[in-house]
């Protein structure tokens, strides 16, 4: 019988792409995580990771175990909540950005509602920085959004690249300023893109702004401009522009859960469900 503690460490190493980040996420030492993975590999008598001095990658057996491990932990969590969790009530005000809202959020809200049917939810979708400001002002209880660049605040759920995206037919005009579609002010993606461009020698101009992911992606799909997007948000009709195009590299995005300073039991329970299902729903791309 595989221990849940070992499976949690296995999932964390797979998601984080290494033992150091996994240890930080689990609040354990790196040696403890390494020992737990060795115990799990000894139990199943198969290696789960291919290790080099620079990278950690899943073996074929590790890939097969990962999905089962996620499901086992979800079942264990659900059973534990039903048997031990107090019956919660009240209202939790949740803020999320559009990438989260169109990804793992629906299943997480469904799971939370089944576990805590007496808790009412108020959900607001918006730009990450604005959601965090509302949290700090006491108007939200939990926020699931992108972490501001350079910040270590919040609980990291996954990390993925921010990429330059353009339509399949986009062809920049030689000598002309590079057209950009960006979120309006106070956006993590916008700030990252502008910082990278200002450090380059490219000539560019903002030709389109929108308060939403749907808006900036529509501009890119129409061939009006290029736009910075999370790698998982590059849909059909769009392509990622690589370094060969001369565009500056962009940093990774960190999708994070933020809680108010003194969360009540219902808010804490919602944050736990968001964290668990957020990790299960998205396979992070770690650079």
284 pLDDT more than 60: no
Angle among Cα 162, 12, 125 to the nearest 5 degrees reads 45
Render pLDDT for 239-259 as a digit per residue (tens, 0 to 9). Answer: 999 888 889 999 999 999 999
210 within 8 A of 220, measured Cβ to Cβ: no
How confident is the model at residue 261, as a pLDDT?
87
Render pLDDT for 14-29 as a digit per residue (tens, 0 to 9). Answer: 988 899 989 988 989 9
How confident is the model at residue 149, as a pLDDT?
85
285 pLDDT more than 70: no
Render pLDDT for 89-105 as a digit per residue (tens, 0 to 9). Answer: 999 999 999 888 888 78
155 within 8 A of 256, measured Cβ to Cβ: yes
Report the 3 state secondary structure along the chain: CCCHHHHHHHHHHHHHCCHHHHHHHHCCCHHHHHHHHHHHHHHHCCCCEEECCCCEEECHHHHHHHHHHHHHHHHHHHHHHHHHCCCCCEEEEEEECHHHHCCCHHHHHHHHHHHCCCEEEEEEECCHHHHHHHHHCCCCCEEEEECCCCCCCCEEEEEEEEEEEEECCCCCCCCCCEEEEEECCCCHHHHHHHHHHHCCCCCEEEEEEECCHHHHHHHHHCCCCEEEEEHHHCCCCEEEECHHHCCCCCCEEEEEEEECCCCCHHHHHHHHHHHHHHHHHCCCCCC
All structural domains of the chain, each given as residue ranges with its CATH number in brackets, are 4-84 (1.10.10.10), 90-159+253-281 (3.40.190.10), 161-251 (3.40.190.10)
How confident is the model at residue 103, as a pLDDT?
80
9 pLDDT more than 90: yes
85 pLDDT more than 50: yes
282 pLDDT more than 90: no
Name the pTM for this structure. 0.67
Query: Average pLDDT for residues 183-212, to the nearest whole number?
Result: 91
How confident is the model at residue 281, as a pLDDT?
56
Q: How much is the mean pLDDT over the chain?
A: 89
How confident is the model at residue 280, as a pLDDT?
63
Q: Which residue has the higher pLDDT, 186 or 230?
A: 230
Query: Average pLDDT for residues 61-67, to the nearest whole number?
Result: 92
Query: Average pLDDT for residues 47-51, to the nearest whole number?
Result: 92
Query: Average pLDDT for residues 195-201, to the nearest whole number?
Result: 93
287 pLDDT more than 50: no
Q: In which band, very low, low, confident or very high, does the pLDDT at 237 lie, cut at 50, 70 and 90?
A: very high
């Amino acid at each position: 019988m595989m221990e849940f503690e070992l499976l949690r460490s296995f999932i964390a190493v797979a998601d984080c792409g290494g033992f150091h980040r996994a240890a930080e996420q689990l609040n354990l030492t790196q040696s403890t995580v390494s020992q737990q993975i060795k115990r799990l590999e000894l139990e199943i008598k198969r290696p789960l990771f291919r290790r080099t001095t620079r990278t950690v990658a899943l073996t074929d057996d590790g890939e097969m175990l990962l999905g089962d491990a996620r499901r086992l932990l979800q079942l264990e969590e659900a059973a534990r909540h039903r048997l031990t969790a107090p019956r919660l009530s009240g209202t939790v005000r949740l803020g999320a950005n559009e990438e989260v809202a169109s990804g793992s959020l629906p299943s997480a809200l469904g799971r939370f509602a089944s576990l805590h049917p007496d808790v009412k939810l108020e959900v607001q979708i918006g730009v990450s920085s604005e959601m965090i400001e509302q949290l700090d002002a006491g108007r939200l209880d939990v926020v699931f959004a992108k972490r501001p660049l350079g910040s270590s605040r919040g609980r990291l759920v996954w990390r993925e690249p921010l990429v330059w995206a353009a339509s399949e037919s986009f062809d920049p005009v030689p000598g002309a300023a590079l057209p950009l579609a960006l979120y309006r002010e106070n956006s993590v993606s916008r700030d990252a893109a502008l910082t990278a461009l200002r450090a380059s020698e490219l000539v560019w101009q903002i030709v389109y702004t929108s308060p939403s992911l749907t808006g900036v992606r529509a501009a890119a799909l129409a061939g009006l401009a290029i736009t910075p997007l999370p790698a998982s948000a590059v849909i059909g009709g769009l392509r990622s522009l690589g370094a060969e195009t001369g565009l500056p590299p962009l940093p990774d995005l960190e999708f994070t859960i933020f809680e108010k300073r003194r969360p009540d039991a219902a808010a804490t329970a919602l944050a736990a469900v968001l964290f668990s299902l957020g990790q299960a729903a998205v396979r992070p791309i770690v650079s």
